Amino acid sequence: MKITKNLNTYEIERLYPVFQNDAFLRLPKSMSHGGVFGVDAAIAQLVITWARSHDQSVLHLFADSESAPDQILQLGKTAAGLAALIMSSKIETETHELIEKRAALFVIRPLIEAMFTGDLRNTSSERGARPKVINLFSINFAKMEFIKPFYYGGASPQIHSHSAFASLLEMSSALMHTRQDKQALVRGGLPALGSVLAELIANADQHSVTDVYGVKYKKGLRGTSVKASRIKKDEIKAISDKESQFALFAMRNMLKDAEYLDFIEISVIDSGPGLARRWLSAKLGSPIEDLSELSIAEEVQATLECFKKHVTTKDSATSGMGLHNAVQALNKLKAYIRLRTGRVCFYQAFQGQDQVVDFNPKNWSGDTQLSAAEGTVFTICIPVN
């Protein structure tokens, strides 16, 4: 099965049934922003689901053995490509020559080292360029699994404080945007987004590393992709029939007489069992092995419960407010969010209301039932004014 360049999120969803029946995957040498919002993260989740669906999943390169390292390096610079390299069982050249996984991962070692040390500029882009994407991922069982931008503590790694994640986003913005845009983002509440990122990473750290039995996945990743994006007026019109709420969000935040809207897109991606399975397995004290054990209504309810006040599977007596507080920060930022997990996909456009708000999203797919996806992807869009 081949993924093309200019996919949107609706086209990605239609690939799920096909991918579950095809153990071979081909990714393009480079990804474009065909879907405008959340595309690379959505493809990463598709790739994770594909890899988990097959005992022997094979990533097939558009390259011979000589040029394979170049394509592997290019793939490693995207969230989807990195997921494919990590999650696949085998990697083959165009002529079906086998490439050892160890050799393939050695090619992307500079990217992994940059993630580990927090060298943000070099996690996805060539040295010297203003990066459009900053990727920070922890890889299960890697020597550099507990990357320094997320963890501290050496032998007993712990997640950094909210303020550290706020600083991380400010540093990312300083690299990706002009000084004027960066200052506008800070005034608009970018530091508050640090608390959102901290909560999402903390939850991924606790709930996505192991399966519903508590066994650590042999292959897995969790982390974030921060992207500087732009949508033009004609692109907004083109997506208004399907992504009507995102189109409305973009138009509402576009300056008068402007031809485009710049926005920062932050996706938190993990390869765990998904929100509903994890939550209900903990709540019921019995592992939910397959989503088919649940009705769609039960899955939707369980997913929403994860975001309710005082609801948590954490052990701390003070926990339970994190995701609730994250929702309040999203409201303050007037963010647009998309959540894909299991068989459900939600979206919500926050309006910056003065009162406390709930996570009260709408069904992204309407009456269409989605295929089951592995892991969880939470994508946040913040306008750059």
The answer to the question of residue 121 being in a domain is yes
Residues across the chain: 385
Enumerate residues 6+ apart whose C-beta is below 8 A from 367: none
Residue 322, pLDDT score = 65
48 domain residue, yes or no: no
Q: Where are the beta strands (DSSP E) in the chain?
A: 24-25, 58-60, 90-92, 98-99, 133-139, 151-152, 158-159, 221-232, 260-270, 336-342, 344-349, 362-363, 373-383
* Amino acid 385: pLDDT: 66
Tell me how far apart the alpha carbons of residues 78 and 369 are, in angstroms, rounded to a whole number.
Answer: 28
Which tokens sit at 312? 């948590």
What are the DSSP E strand ranges found in 153-305?
Answer: 158-159, 221-232, 260-270
> Is 249 among the domain residues?
yes
Within 13 A of 82's CA, how many CA atoms are on the CB side?
A: 30
Identify whether 212 is part of a domain. Answer: yes
CB environment 324-360: b (16+ within 10 A), e (fewer): bebbbbbbbbbbbbbbbbbbbbbbbbbeeeeeebebe
Q: Which domain holds residue 357?
A: 108-383
Does residue 9 form part of some domain?
no
Strand 24-25 and strand 58-60: the pairing is: parallel
Q: Is residue 156 part of a domain?
A: yes
Continuous segment of H or E residues that includes residue 105? helix 101-107
The answer to whether the beta carbons of residues 79 and 87 sit under 8 Å apart is no
Q: Which residues contact 180 (CB under 8 A, 6 or more apart)?
A: none
Residues 6+ positions from 59 with CB-CB distance below 8 Å? 25, 26, 27, 84, 85, 88, 90, 91, 92
Contact, 236 vs 179, CB < 8 A? no
Contact status, residue 249 vs residue 336, Cβ threshold 8 Å? yes
Q: CA-CA distance, 274 to 87, in Å (whole number)?
A: 16
CB 133 within 8 A of CB 125: yes
Q: What are the C-alpha distances in Å from 86 to residues 47, 57, 121, 188, 321? A: 10, 11, 22, 36, 33
Contact 382, 266 (CB under 8 A): yes
Give domain status of residue 204, yes or no. Answer: yes
Cβ–Cβ < 8 Å for 218, 141? yes
Q: Please tell me what DSSP assigns to residue 176.
A: H
| Residue 245: closest CA among 115, 378, 363 | 363
Domains held by the chain: number: 1
Q: What is the pLDDT of residue 30?
A: 65
The phi, psi pair for 381, rounded to 5°, reads -115, 125
Q: What is the pLDDT along the chain (385 residues), one digit of tens a residue?
A: 788 777 888 889 999 998 888 999 998 766 654 557 888 999 999 999 999 999 999 999 988 999 999 999 999 999 999 999 999 999 999 999 999 999 999 999 999 999 999 999 999 866 556 788 999 999 999 999 999 999 999 889 999 998 999 999 999 988 888 888 877 777 767 788 888 899 899 989 999 999 999 999 999 999 999 998 888 888 888 777 777 778 888 888 887 888 888 888 999 999 999 999 999 998 889 999 999 999 999 999 999 887 765 444 454 433 445 667 778 888 888 899 999 999 999 999 988 888 888 888 999 888 888 999 999 999 999 888 6
Place of tokens 């459009």: 132
Task: Look at residue 99 and tell me if it is in a domain.
Answer: no
Burial of residue 208, with CB atoms counted within 10 A of its CB: 0-12 exposed, 13-18 middle, 19 or more buried: buried
CA angle, 41 as apex, 157 and 63 as ends, to 5°?
Answer: 100
